[in-house]
Amino acid sequence: QSALTQPASVSGSPGQSITISCTGTNSDVGSYNLVSWYQQHPGKAPKLMIYEDSKRPSGISNRFSGSKSGNTASLTISGLQAEDEADYYCCSYAGSTTLWVFGGGTKLTVL
Amino acid sequence: QVQLQESGPGLVKPSETLSLTCTVSGGSISSYYWSWIRQPPGKGLEWIGYIYYSGRTIYNPSLKSRVSISADTSKNQFSLELNSVTPADTAAYYCACGTFSDWGSQWGQGTLVTVSS
């Protein structure tokens, strides 16, 4: 069982917006501004999409945005495109003992 | 831009030691955080640990008793050793690098390691 809880799947049509939630506790998500989000296409390595809750690395489309409220972080993808279909994982810092924990992943289907 | 490439045996016997190396190009291993992550087939990601520029290592508590990460600055490589492996350690193993808050900025392509007799 993963430390962070994500929905197993979400779907949306091209052009729509979707949001993926990531629920942790006040020992991880709720305590640090250190949630990151990764996109993984089948057979490929994960790719960093968001870090420090809401920052985008250079080269990442502004269609991807991150936010957080309490113990729940969210990834929103606007203007869905076919190439956004992938698995998405959240990750949070959980303190100096546990370090980094992942969510179980969410499969995004673009209808 | 930093590029990473994992290498090592694709098959390891139960109870033996899994050893992988990550070769770094386009950047110095004397900087940043250098991580190992794994993903069992069809499952999610698990952070294994990292070594950072001071040579200090931090490990996932669930693997701490079996794992060791080291760096060879002369070869610009860092390595993973996981001992006493079982079939549950079968996974794609990835190396990655970044700063503390974006330690997964760059990833290698990953290498599948199967634990089987």
Burial class (CB in 10 A: 0-12, 13-18, 19+), B97: buried
State the Cα–Cα distance between residues B103 and B23, nearest whole angstrom: 17
Chain A partners within 8 Å of B107 (Cβ): 45-47
Q: Given CB atoms, is B60 within the 8 Å cutoff of chain A?
A: yes
Model confidence pLDDT, tens digit, residues A59-108: 999 999 999 999 999 999 999 999 999 999 999 999 988 799 999 999 99
Please report, as a single letter, which amino acid is at residue A87: D
Query: Any idea what DSSP says for residue A3?
Result: S
Model confidence pLDDT, tens digit, residues B61-104: 999 999 999 999 899 999 999 999 999 999 999 999 999 999 99
CB contact under 8 A, B45 and A57: no
CA distance A86 to chain B (A): 13
Q: Taking chain B, what is the end-to-end CA distance rounded to the nearest angstrom?
A: 39
- Give phi and psi for B64, each to the nearest 5: -55, -35
